[in-house]
Structure 1
Amino acid sequence: MKDEVIATVRSSVPPGENWPDLRKTWGFRRDPLTPLLDCYERYGPVFSIRVLFGANVFMIGPEANHFMLVSGRENFSWRKGRMGDLIPLLGDGLLTTDGQFHDTSRALIMPAFHRERVVAAAEVMAAEAAGAADAIDAAEPLDVYHWTRDLAMRIAMQALFGFDPDSNRAEEMAATFERGLGFYGREYPMQLIWGPFTPASRMHADRRRLEELVGSEIARRRERGGGGEADGADILSSLIDATDEDGERLAESHVLDHVLTLLFAGHDTTTSTVSFLAYELARHPEWVKRLRAELDEVCGDREPTTEELFSGLPLLTRAVDETLRLYPPAWIGARRCVHDYEFEGVKVGAGLPVAYSSWVSHRLPDVFENPHDFEPDRFEPEARAKWPRGAYVPFGMGPRVCIGKRFGYTEVHAIAAALIRRFDLELPDDYKLTIQQAPTLSPRGGLPMRLTPA
């Protein structure tokens, strides 16, 4: 059942650091990577840490990832974990549902991400990325994080909704969604305050406005028999037209929930990945030269074609993959244990919050040599083939692997190529990266850079 109730937490809490300590709790919220790596060294792949009011179990490492995502996934609920916190804004999308409801929904949505749909979206991505890069004023500093965020939203308005990104409705939808999503970037105690004029009440108001905006568009398209603004190539049209094996269509509320979930997942992932890639390229200018040489050889003076974005730029793909290893946007996979289980001799009781962390697993020195260094050549096919299963999971793995993986990869490649072809990247002398963890990994306070025409 989608809303399975978990009664009480039973006894089996793994060893770890479970004494109350507000200082450590605050430190964990600012920098979870360091204490989680420390606990892995001290306790092994299964341990617990007290955060706020209770014990939180972590499963770290390749085999732990595989257990949570594939072989032992029936022991965990997404909806009853922290992913459920997103329900007030995103509703019952793929990130917040379990069981048959999730599996049926995923099967209905999958055609929206078939190759021909992504090919159509790739043309939008390349054109928008080139236009945005051409419009950059290199005489002024640029916040690459916010520049990418605006660009990714323009692409989403077209690829997801079929909207002209400069139209009033697209601008209102983008602003409303960004404002609502900003609730999850606040410190967690602020998210717990409810009542009139609170951040939570404003987020709920934004959700209601999104229901009005998207709901009216769904109704309008269904009245005329479906289809997008031009040729029906957008993902909203695909969801409106989707039917299950009995010929039943998705309810309007479910179309809304799914498209908002896809907007969140794709928009934030792209912004995060491009930003951290730009950060690392500024610190490794030799890689800018290598990537620009590849683009020159493959593309000449033109922008990359769709096929080149898919598979024709192997060095750029390595750089993107390495960025996702160091800074996976969805850095934590929070679940709730629904059945007692045992992993590597450690028992975990039903009712406990359990999470895997790609961010921590990707930084393990017993899996990756020089794990904190930006070394894209570690993704050469021969080297990658030697990694254990579950070693690299920026998009998850198994039956719930990210449905928009190809879409996101293509968008990141298009934006990165547009920047690399045109500019050298430089960080301010006094810049120090600090990382915000919610709702996805991002540079705290943005990413100021100086861009010099190449």
Structure 2
Amino acid sequence: MYSVTEVLVALLIVILVWILLVSPLQQWYSKHSRFCHLMSELPGPKIVPLFGNTYEFVENPLNKFTELLTHMIKTHGPIFRMWVGPFTCTVHVSSWRYAESIFNSSVHIDKSSLYSFLHSWLGTGLLTSTGAKWHLRRKLLTPAFHRSVLDSFQEVFSDKSDTLIKILEVERKKSESFDIAPFIWQCSLDIICETAMGTKMNIQESVSKNDTAYLKAISYAAESGLYRLLRPWLHPQLLFDISPRGRKYKKSVEIMHSFTNKVIQERKKEYLDSKRMEVNGFTDENEKFRIKKRRMAFIDVLIETTLGDGEEEKHHLTDEGIREEVDTFMFEGHDTTASGISWTIYLLGRHPDIQEEVAREINEVFGQESIKSTQKLSELRLLDRCIHESLRLYPSVPVIARELNKEVKLGGHTLPAGTELFIHMFYMHRDKELFPEPEKFNPDNFLPEACEKRPPYAFVPFSAGPRNCIGQKFAMQEAKTVVASIVKNYRIESIESPQELVLLMEMILRSQNGIKVRLHPRN
């Protein structure tokens, strides 16, 4: 016979097991089974146990990713599901009709949980944060992209573009044809270092050993995102951390954080020193002039916001918070813009008639002047349309992902809260109903009268809605300056046809073999 105490203890254990284990498992199963049922209603490829639908992507090199994704969209339509391993199912849409209700919503603004892969690098800055923190950061960072701030950056855009032209001239004399993309990437990174961190790294001319390590770390961390996404066994943080890729990724993050932290401390010291000198009176007129003339970088705006004087309420950012935003801007602000510039150069090089029209427009507006006037830059309307058309055909960010916060119906299908939704702009921008001859480079697609006829979310290279890209004006201003500088000095001849290109749909859209061109000096 069992004693009363033993029976009570056993009963207590059963109750605890039920509360802590069985009940949550039942709830999870009930929720998961409904989720699985709703996902099964969607079209999609055949599921392989454990791998889901990623086995094709894993067994093929990354340069086959675009080809496989294109095949899935053609086979299963503009909305389909894809299992990433046994527990995560993603839904993919490639039509503005499905994306419209997401972009137009103030509810579905959370980035996919897969962006958490970037947390160890970017923290929870503007790109990866959610909820109240995202709203606060968005409000906090908006002044950093005011027109007056962008105007002050124009001199940097112009000077770095002039340096690019000198370097391209050297390369042109060495090789009849060459890949122009790395030179554009270096120019864009040069620009972002000075505008974001106030640091002149002169990347296009020469870089120090420490600078080189930082640049390599950015590249490695960025390309690791897609690699990890397509390998479900690397999704758990612990398994990724102990993997060879994870260990190298961690070292890359440490290098980047160390670099950014150093710059933050230097810029904070400069800021506080200048404030003390203002209070105590300047003893050196040269120093007074230097401080007054110094251009504010993105990092200075953040420091001013958290430390500056004024009656408005201050939102105090820690050094970690400043680093999150600077690292985010460094990542998002150079690769995306370099991609957009490279593709515009490629398309102009494929269409000499349009290129010559652009060259005439640039000469009429600027003549022999350097491209340092933002007012005159705004008059390059054909170039503006060319860049937009380039972003239609080759969007810098080909896909974005959101996590649905509420259940939603898309195309007759019910998507429950928590669904990971991928919106493929690369395919959305090729809608035959909205863009006749969708594969053709036609800047007239962006004449005002053509834009007015299209739905508002048919063209979204900078995302759309409340969570659109805060830096899109910065990107367009930089792109117009760099492209105008190149076209002003050279006639571009692109070598490869669109059919010969191998597109890499990583976090940024790029060509596997770069953008090969011949440059012919203009008289």
In the superposition, the TM-score normalised over structure 1's length comes to 0.89
Cα separation, partners in 2 of 1:242 and 1:63, compared to 1, 3 Å: farther
In the other structure, the counterpart of 2:444 is 377
Distance in 2 between residues matched to 1:338 and 1:233, nearest whole Å: 38
In the other structure, the counterpart of 1:143 is 179
Distance in 1 between residues matched to 2:513 and 2:255, nearest whole Å: 23
Is residue 204 from structure 1 mapped to residue 253 from structure 2 by the alignment?
yes
Distance in 2 between residues matched to 1:447 and 1:52, nearest whole Å: 35
In the other structure, the counterpart of 2:210 is 172
Distance in 2 between residues matched to 1:229 and 1:32, nearest whole Å: 51
Deviation at 1:220, TM superposition (A): 2.1
Counterpart among 301, 304, 326 of residue 241 in structure 1: 304
In the other structure, the counterpart of 1:156 is 192
3-state SS of 1:16 partner: coil
- Paired residues of 2:44 and 2:81 also in contact (CA < 8 A): yes
Which has the higher mean CA deviation after the structures are superposed, 138-147 or 289-298?
A: 138-147
In the other structure, the counterpart of 2:378 is 311
Counterpart among 386, 402, 406 of residue 335 in structure 1: 402
Matched to 1:15, the amino acid is: P
In the other structure, the counterpart of 2:501 is 433
Percent of residue pairs identical:
24
Cα separation, partners in 2 of 1:389 and 1:32, compared to 1, 3 Å: farther
Counterpart among 242, 245, 249 of residue 195 in structure 1: 242
Distance in 2 between residues matched to 1:31 and 1:308, nearest whole Å: 44
Distance in 1 between residues matched to 2:61 and 2:104, nearest whole Å: 28
3-state SS of 1:426 partner: strand
Q: Is the helix fraction higher in 1 or 2?
A: 2
In the other structure, the counterpart of 1:49 is 82
Deviation at 1:30, TM superposition (A): 3.7
- Paired residues of 2:217 and 2:256 also in contact (CA < 8 A): no
Which has the higher mean CA deviation after the structures are superposed, 82-91 or 283-292?
A: 82-91
Task: Map 1:305-454 onto structure 2 (within 5 A).
Answer: 305-308=372-375, 310-428=377-495, 432-454=500-522
Matched to 1:143, the amino acid is: D
Number of residue equivalences: 447
Note the residue ranges of structure 2 that are not aligned, 5 or more in a row.
1-26, 235-239, 276-289
Is residue 17 from structure 1 mapped to residue 45 from structure 2 by the alignment?
yes
Deviation at 1:223, TM superposition (A): 3.6
Provide Cα deviations, 1:218-255, integer angstroms capped at 9, x if missing partner: 54245426798952521110011114963232111111
3-state SS of 1:335 partner: strand
Deviation at 1:55, TM superposition (A): 3.0
Is residue 116 from structure 1 mapped to residue 148 from structure 2 by the alignment?
yes
Provide Cα deviations, 1:247-282, integer angstroms capped at 9, x if missing partner: 232111111110111111110111101111111122
Q: CA RMSD in A?
A: 3.0
Deviation at 1:439, TM superposition (A): 2.7
Which has the higher mean CA deviation after the structures are superposed, 225-234 or 92-101?
A: 225-234
- Paired residues of 1:309 and 1:413 also in contact (CA < 8 A): no
- Paired residues of 1:241 and 1:249 also in contact (CA < 8 A): no
Matched to 1:147, the amino acid is: F
Matched to 2:474, the amino acid is: F
Task: Map 1:90-129 onto structure 2 (within 5 A).
Answer: 90-129=122-161
In the other structure, the counterpart of 1:231 is 294
Is residue 295 from structure 1 mapped to residue 368 from structure 2 by the alignment?
no
- Paired residues of 1:365 and 1:371 also in contact (CA < 8 A): yes
- Paired residues of 2:66 and 2:505 also in contact (CA < 8 A): no
3-state SS of 2:518 partner: strand
Distance in 2 between residues matched to 1:228 and 1:37, nearest whole Å: 54
Provide Cα deviations, 1:187-211, integer angstroms capped at 9, x if missing partner: 6159834337643232233244235
Distance in 1 between residues matched to 2:449 and 2:213, nearest whole Å: 45
Deviation at 1:372, TM superposition (A): 1.4
3-state SS of 2:242 partner: coil
Provide Cα deviations, 1:47-67, integer angstroms capped at 9, x if missing partner: 213455553201332232222
Matched to 1:453, the amino acid is: P
Is residue 74 from structure 1 mapped to residue 112 from structure 2 by the alignment?
no
**Based on CA coordinates, which of the two structures has the bigger radius of gyration?**
2
- Paired residues of 2:344 and 2:386 also in contact (CA < 8 A): yes
Cα separation, partners in 2 of 1:298 and 1:309, compared to 1, 3 Å: closer
Which has the higher mean CA deviation after the structures are superposed, 160-169 or 359-368?
A: 160-169
Cα separation, partners in 2 of 1:74 and 1:27, compared to 1, 3 Å: farther
- Paired residues of 1:180 and 1:206 also in contact (CA < 8 A): no
Provide Cα deviations, 1:28-73, integer angstroms capped at 9, x if missing partner: 95455555556556655432134555532013322322222222x5
Matched to 1:180, the amino acid is: I
Distance in 2 between residues matched to 1:159 and 1:429, nearest whole Å: 34
- Paired residues of 1:161 and 1:228 also in contact (CA < 8 A): no
Distance in 2 between residues matched to 1:427 and 1:406, nearest whole Å: 27
In the other structure, the counterpart of 2:164 is 132
Which has the higher mean CA deviation after the structures are superposed, 127-136 or 28-37?
A: 28-37
Is residue 276 from structure 1 mapped to residue 343 from structure 2 by the alignment?
yes
Distance in 1 between residues matched to 2:154 and 2:139, nearest whole Å: 23
Provide Cα deviations, 1:267-302, integer angstroms capped at 9, x if missing partner: 011110111111112211112111101111111111
3-state SS of 2:371 partner: coil
In the other structure, the counterpart of 1:3 is none
Which has the higher mean CA deviation after the structures are superposed, 220-229 or 283-292?
A: 220-229
Distance in 1 between residues matched to 2:66 and 2:434, nearest whole Å: 16
Cα separation, partners in 2 of 1:447 and 1:340, compared to 1, 3 Å: same
Cα separation, partners in 2 of 1:176 and 1:294, compared to 1, 3 Å: same
Cα separation, partners in 2 of 1:409 and 1:75, compared to 1, 3 Å: closer
